[in-house]
Structure 1
Amino acid sequence: MTALGRRAGTAAAVLTLTLAATLAGCGSDDEGAAASEGATRQPDAGASPSPSPSVSPSSASSATDGGASHPPSPGSSTEAEKKKRGIPEGGVPKPGDVDGRDADEVAEGTLTAMWTHDTTVDDGPGDAARRTADAGWLTRSYARQLADHRGGSAPDAQWRRWADHRAYTTVASERTEDAAKPPDTDTVAWRQLTVTTTPHGRDGWTRKPASVVAYVHLVRKSADAVWRVADVTVR
């Protein structure tokens, strides 16, 4: 494997693990649980040419708060149908929902899809990455990289606790870019966003939000083509 291939594989593994780590960061104060050791990781060296930006935690936007309504029981036809179709609470954005020629909208839509989880639909946190790839937000090569590393986000005790409450997440994102970000070209763009995730149980349970800073690498074939995400690194 080439050095470039190793870096790409490492970046995919880091993202997959971070999707799971963000879940652990949400609700780390649950029923006597130990304090979380942090939901973020440094971006892989060489995975992105963007300099190490300075991000102010206060710039992160808050996700939707408040108790969730009480939907039908897990055995109802409504939830059974959602499980069958793999649709999380509130749905997830699709490429057709945004202006594909707008790098900002594509980056935000991709991150929202990646961090949207629903324990009544998903078997584990890695399913969100699979859903994002299947929807068409990513380049083919990046979709394959994430698929290869799905095993790194197996359900853990935190996910099982969420499942006990039939929890789902709400996601908010805000651009928090550094002045040193490389300028866009016709075919390459970089975006930096703070992604804030909040878990909500269908029984009214909820926990504090957790945030990560995501660096998004977007590419397209020509100036009039739609953008696709070629890489996401987080810290």
Structure 2
Amino acid sequence: MISSRTRNATASAAAVLTFALVAGGCGSDDGGVEAAASTPSAPVATGTGPYPTPSVTGADTAEPTPPASTGTPRGGSVRPKDVDLTDADAVSEGAITALWTFDTTVDQGPHDAELRTAEAGWLTDAYADRLRARPPRPVSGAQWQKWADHDARTTVAADKTEDAARPPDGDTEAWRQWTVTATPSGSKGWAGEPVVVAVYAQLTRAAPGKPWRVADVTVR
């Protein structure tokens, strides 16, 4: 019997699950979770990463508005107070780690990690609102079901990846690329296959010296 948390699995920013299914040759007919990282609103420049042309307009710099409370994963999750918020590397790594930290014992689906990340304060107000507004849709969630069967939780490692196409940091915008490895582990010593994805984070801030916030995340 499929559990209620599986029936309620969401289409979310958990592109890690989508990539796992795609890598294994599975498609949407097999119940994959929809990729949730959003597409950048700025044009894509020539190069490896999804970077905008050198102009920034309408950057969102507002403080995020916390959504409804979400569960706390076992072992906790990195929070903005744990890092230097004026360091774009630290903020982007922290946000990405939070987005890919899933715990099937407290999460109904990967979308809960998005809400938890927004609640923690990693994201701009506009990005947090977009994630909250994305309605969960029922999916069979083959990958999520497998993890849930083992009460799995992911451990996340993010390695900074240099990209020659990345624009230089501006006063109010920065881009970072990370290689994210999410490794599921569960009860009775169960260990799942690690999933590796390339993640691009766009960060904005109100002015030099102010805290960075993640304004967009793209998975390639």
Is the pair's TM-score, using the shorter chain for normalization, greater than 0.5? yes
Match of 1:225 in 2: 210
Segment of structure 1 superposing worse, 224-233 or 151-160: 151-160
Q: Is the 8 A contact 2:156 2:183 kept in 1?
A: yes
Question: What's the TM-score, normalizing by structure 2?
Answer: 0.74
Match of 1:134 in 2: 119
Q: 1:17 to 1:52 in 2, by over 3 A?
A: farther
Q: Is the 8 A contact 1:16 1:150 kept in 2?
A: no
Decide which structure has greater helix share: 1
Aligned length: 186
Match of 1:88 in 2: 73
Question: Which of 9, 31, 48 is the matching residue for 1:53?
Answer: 48
- Which residue type is aligned with residue 163 of structure 2? D
Match of 1:18 in 2: 15
Distance 1:211 1:178 in 2: 17
Match of 1:149 in 2: 134
Distance 1:219 1:159 in 2: 32
Q: Quick check: 1:165 aligned with 2:162?
A: no
Question: Which of 89, 108, 111 is the matching residue for 2:93?
Answer: 108
Q: 1:85 to 1:178 in 2, by over 3 A?
A: closer
Report 1:32-51 matches (<5 A).
35-37=24-26, 44=39, 47=42, 49=44, 51=46
Gaps of 5+ in 2: 1-10, 50-68
CA RMSD of aligned residues (A): 3.0
Give the secondary structure class of the aligned counterpart of 1:185.
coil
Q: Is the 8 A contact 1:218 1:231 kept in 2?
A: yes
**1:138: how far off?**
0.3
Q: How high is the sequence identity, in percent, across the aligned residues?
A: 48
Question: What's the TM-score, normalizing by structure 1?
Answer: 0.70
**1:158: how far off?**
2.2
Shift >3 Å, 4+ stretches:
22-25, 36-52, 152-155
**1:139: how far off?**
0.4
- In the TM superposition, what whole-angstrom CA distance separates every residue of 1:49-108 from its partner, at most 9, and x where no partner exists? 454427xxxxxxxxxxxxxxxxxxxxxxxxxxxxx9721122111111000000000000
Q: Is the 8 A contact 2:71 2:107 kept in 1?
A: yes
- Which residue type is aligned with residue 135 of structure 1? A
